[in-house]
Amino acid sequence: MGTSTIGVSIAVPEPYGRLLQERRAGFGDLAAHAIPTHITLLPPTEVDTAALPGFRRHLSVVAESSRAFPLRLDGTDSFRPLSPVVYVRLAEGAVDCSLLQERVRSGPVVRELQFPYHPHVTVAHGIEDEAMDRAQRELAGFTAHWTVTGFSLYEQGDDGVWRSRGDFPFGRPGTAAAVPGQTARLDAMPSPGDPLHA
């Protein structure tokens, strides 16, 4: 029946998702507009198309039994020299993401990880070192927080672009510690005339 390349992730909500995607493109990362800004739960995985209905059912069960949780991004770091990646750090919500990704990977689609799981938001990957340094420096003041209320299944098209193939909302409300609303700060926020606001 063929195969598909899929992934499961937590989308970074607007306006932060688009802002970080535009910044990633501005650093020269050509993959920026093909990859929605996200926190990975299941990395890119090739599966038989016939396995997708069962995997969707598994994701529904995982989501239905999951509880909303607060997530906060704060500052940057890098996986260099092990991997050519600069990312925005999770200051809160990492344990919740770790537990969630274990459950996502425990169903009909089993995926061994190349590296230990470390939730993050990639803002530069595989570009020149100077541009990686710039990404790490210029986004060092970035922070955002929101309440995670679900995750999404994505599929990579023949054009290399990742598209959502379904949202899976959590079935249980968050605890009193959940962060209401969304806020973000960037030391050099774009001005109204900046292309990020177009």
CATH number of the domain where residue 45 is located: 3.90.1140.10
- Containing structural domain, residue 64: 3-171
| Rg, the chain, Cα only | 17
Sign of CA dihedral 191, 192, 193, 197: positive
Whether 185 is in a domain gets the answer: no
How many other C-beta atoms can be found within 10 angstroms of the C-beta atom of residue 52? 19
pLDDT average, residue stretch 112-130: 95
Whether 197 is in a domain gets the answer: no
Whether 183 is in a domain gets the answer: no
Q: Which helix (H) or strand (E) holds 170?
A: none
CA distance 38 to 27: 18
Whether 190 is in a domain gets the answer: no
CB 78 within 8 A of CB 136: yes
Amino acid making up residue 126? G
Backbone angles phi, psi at 137, to 5 degrees: -75, -45
Task: Please count the structural domains in the chain.
Answer: 1
Buried b (16+ CB within 10 A) or exposed e, 53-76: eebbebbeebbeebebbbbbbbeb
- pLDDT band of residue 173 (cuts 50, 70, 90) is confident
Total-model pTM: 0.86
Residue whose C-alpha is closest to residue 16's, from 195, 184, 194: 184
Whether 177 is in a domain gets the answer: no
Whether 189 is in a domain gets the answer: no
Residue 184 pLDDT greater than 50, yes or no: no
- pLDDT band of residue 4 (cuts 50, 70, 90) is very high
Whether 62 is in a domain gets the answer: yes
Residue 193 pLDDT greater than 60, yes or no: no
